[in-house]
Amino acid sequence: MTESRFDVASIVQGYAQGYFLMADDSGASLGWYSSRERTLIPLDERFRYPRSLQRLLNQERFTVAVDRAFEAVIDGCADRETTWISEELKDIYRSLHEAGWAHSFETWQGDELAGGILGLTIGGAFIGESMFFRIPDGSKVAMVKLVERLRDRQFVLFDAQMMNPHLERFGAHIIGSKQYNALLKQALARQCSL
């Protein structure tokens, strides 16, 4: 394990207080952000997905793994035309991973990484940072399997931070900061493991 040049404890504390890190569009400046609204992926019966995805799940074409290819998931999440995952943020994720806070939840098709979700686990909270796919439906299957895993492990909160049409199809919903902070407090009181 390498010596981290980041204060991991302070970074985890920032997330535990409801903030998240993002780089600006240029990637030059990294800052803490908060929002009056947060997007959650439901861990109850409100979680849903298209019937076509159920057929795919029944075929069992993908297998799942945790932290098998953490570095590749970071790269996959950052590999887009405009990204808020700067080189500095990648280094922070690596430090958080080495300290046991950041994880990759991956789908595989044979020996090929199909997709993945990058996130932090703090108590009973999974804070999703980003997701990507290399094989169609890889990230969708990762989402379904991750929700199953979080339910099984008694997580309270799956924070997706910001809404987009893709997340909306899974039943994602927006809550206010007061409600979010109350749920986060509940989640932090739990000891859960991905």
Predicted model pTM: 0.92
Domain membership flag for residue 35: yes
Specify the pLDDT at position 1. 40
Domain membership flag for residue 173: yes
Specify the pLDDT at position 142. 96
Domain membership flag for residue 107: yes
8 Å CB contact between 170 and 160: no
Predicted confidence pLDDT, tens digits, the chain (194 residues):
444 567 999 999 999 999 998 887 666 688 898 889 999 999 999 999 988 899 999 999 999 999 999 999 999 999 988 778 889 999 999 999 999 999 999 999 999 999 999 999 999 999 999 999 999 999 999 999 999 999 999 999 999 988 988 899 999 999 999 999 999 999 999 999 99
Domain count, the chain: 1
Domain membership flag for residue 194: no
Domain membership flag for residue 119: yes
**Residue 191, Ramachandran bin (φ over 0: left; ψ between -120 and 50: alpha; else beta):** beta
Domain membership flag for residue 165: yes
Q: What is the CATH number of the domain that holds 127?
A: 3.40.630.70
Specify the pLDDT at position 3. 46
Specify the pLDDT at position 26. 66
Domain residues for the domain of 181 are 8-188
Domain membership flag for residue 18: yes
Specify the pLDDT at position 27. 61
Specify the pLDDT at position 157. 96
Domain membership flag for residue 135: yes
Specify the pLDDT at position 166. 84
Specify the pLDDT at position 5. 63
